[in-house]
Chains A and B, each alone.
Chain A
Amino acid sequence: MDNKRKLLIQSLAALVQNADFRGFFSGRVSGAATKKVCVPGLNCYSCPSAVGACPIGSLQSSLSSFSFRVPYYIIGLLIFFGALLGRAVCGFLCPFGLLQDLLHKIPFFKKIKTFKADKYLRFIKYAVLIFGVIILPVFIKLTPVFCKYLCPSGTLAGLLLAFSDTKLFALFGGRFMWKACILGIITLASVIIYRPFCKYLCPLGAFYAPFNKVSLLQIKTDAEKCTNCKACFRACDMCVDPSLHPDSTECIRCGKCISACPEGAIHYSTLLSKGASLQNNKMKTAEVEYEQEEKAGTD
C-alpha cells in the first residue's frame, strides 16, 4: 500500500470520527446521537467535533462507576474490531495515530528508529492497560485513571475545547499542566521516533496487539518468493521483521513492508489463507537459522 493511499484512509477515518465541526464554533462538545457508539480508535469523547465515544474512556467509566457492572458492550465491540482488523485499527483508523504519523514527517536532523531499551519499553502499554484502564478504575471510584492522568488525546481534546470556549482556560490547573507536559513530550518524541505513544503507552494498541495473531486481516509473506533481503525489516518503522513474524503484536499493518519488498513476496491476506503462510514462514525461519548456524560453524 502506498503512503498516499494510507494517509487518505487515515484522514477519512479521522474525519468520520470527528464529523461534527459545529463544536469548534459553538464551544460545545458535540452531542450527536451517535455518541453512544464507541469508535475503534483513540478519539476523546470531549473533542468538540467527536461523534463517537472513545472505547478506552467508556471502558474506564463503566469500570469506575459506583455500581460495578461488566461492560459487555464495550468489550464485545473491542473484540469485534480486534478480531476483524487487529492492529490495523492503529495503522489506519486511529486519529491519534494519524497525528503521530504527520508529526513524524517533520524533518529532524536525527530520526531514531530503535534504541537499547526499545523492546522493553513496549511492555509499558500492557501495564497501562491492566492498571490504568482496568484495575485502578475498578478500585478508585469515578476515576478513569488513564483519561485523568495520562491520555494525550484527551489533553488535545481539552485544548481544542478551550480554544472554542476560552473561559475554560481558567479551569486548567496542575493536573492539566501535567497532562500538557505528557502531550508535549509525546509530540516532540513523535518528530524523532515513529509513533512513540503507540509503541510504548497506548492501552488500546495493547488490547488489539494479541489479535494480530488471529484477526481476519493478516499480512502474509510468501516464503517461496522471499530472498531474505530484509528490505521489509529496514522499511518497517515499528521495527518488525515481517519475513519472520508477519503476525507480530507490534505490526500496525501499515503496509510499508509490502511496498518495500522487491520480490512482491509480502501482501495483505486473510486468516483463512494463513495456514500455509505460517508453515512456510516457520520453514523459512528454520532455514535461516540453519544457514546462520552453518555459517558460524564454518567461521
Chain B
Amino acid sequence: MINMWETWCGPCVNEMPDLQRLYTNYKSRGFLILGATASEKSEIRSTVRSLGVTYPIIMRNYQFNKFDTGYVPTTVFIDGDGYVLSSEPYVGGRSYAEWERILLSYLK
C-alpha cells in the first residue's frame, strides 16, 4: 500500500494509527505500507513519533504523478510484481475496518 499523506492534512493523520494497526496485523503476510509525503522532515518526524508509526515513510516527488489525484490522502495498492491493483486510487481517509476489507480482497 502506498499512502500519500501530508502533515497538515487532518484526514491523513487521523487514519495513520489505523494504517499502523493494519501494518502490524498483516506484515507477517507480506503486506507493506509506504507513507509518501512532501512535508518538512522535522514535521514528518514529530508526526510519525507522536502517532507511533513504524512503517516506512518515503519522500514524495514527481515520480508519484501517475497516482496523483490532487487530494490527500490518496492510496494505491501494488502487488509483489509491481502491478497496480486498484483501477482507481482510493481518495480520502478510511477506518480500520474499511481498509482491512479492501486489503483482504487483494490478499485473497
Q: Do A and B come from one complex?
A: yes
Q: Are A29 and B70 touching (Cβ within 8 A)?
A: no
Q: Smallest CB–CB gap between B57 and chain A, Å?
A: 15
Q: How far is the CA of A144 from the CA of B8 in the complex (A)?
A: 9
| 1/0 contact string of A157-168 vs chain B (CB within 8 Å) | 110010001011
Segment of B22-30, B75-83, B90-98, B100-108 in the binding face: B90-98
Q: Is A296 an interface residue (CB 8 A)?
A: no
Of residues 85 to 139 in A, which have CB atoms within 8 Å of B's CB atoms?
none
Q: How far is the CA of A62 from the CA of B98 in the complex (A)?
A: 25
Chain B residues, Cβ within 8 Å of A154: 10
Chain A residues, Cβ within 8 Å of B69: 65
Of A46, A67, A167, the residue contacting B17 (CB under 8 A) is A167
Seen from chain B, the residues whose Cβ lies within 8 Å of a Cβ on chain A are: 6-11, 13-15, 17, 38, 43, 46-47, 50-51, 60-62, 64-65, 68-72, 91-95, 98
Total interface residues in chain A, CB < 8 Å: 34
Q: Are A142 and B72 touching (Cβ within 8 A)?
A: yes
Chain A residues, Cβ within 8 Å of B71: 58, 61-62, 65
User: Considering residues A27, A142, A148, which has the most beta carbons from chain B within 10 angstroms of its beta carbon?
Assistant: A142
Chain A residues, Cβ within 8 Å of B7: 171
Q: Are A142 and B6 touching (Cβ within 8 A)?
A: yes
Seen from chain A, the residues whose Cβ lies within 8 Å of a Cβ on chain B are: 26-29, 31, 35-36, 44-46, 58, 61-62, 65-67, 69, 71, 141-142, 144, 147-148, 154, 157-158, 161, 165, 167-168, 170-171, 173, 175
8 contacting pairs across A/B (C-beta < 8 A): A29-B11, A31-B95, A46-B11, A61-B72, A66-B68, A142-B38, A157-B10, A171-B46
Of A26, A35, A65, A170, the residue contacting B70 (CB under 8 A) is A65
Q: Are B70 and A168 touching (Cβ within 8 A)?
A: no
Chain A residues, Cβ within 8 Å of B91: 36
Q: How far is the CA of A147 from the CA of B12 in the complex (A)?
A: 15
* Closest residue on chain A to residue B52 by CB atoms: A167
* Closest residue on chain A to residue B4 by CB atoms: A142
Chain A residues, Cβ within 8 Å of B64: 66
A141-B38, A173-B43 known; A31 and B92 CB under 8 Å? yes
Q: Are B38 and A29 touching (Cβ within 8 A)?
A: no
Chain B residues, Cβ within 8 Å of A36: 91
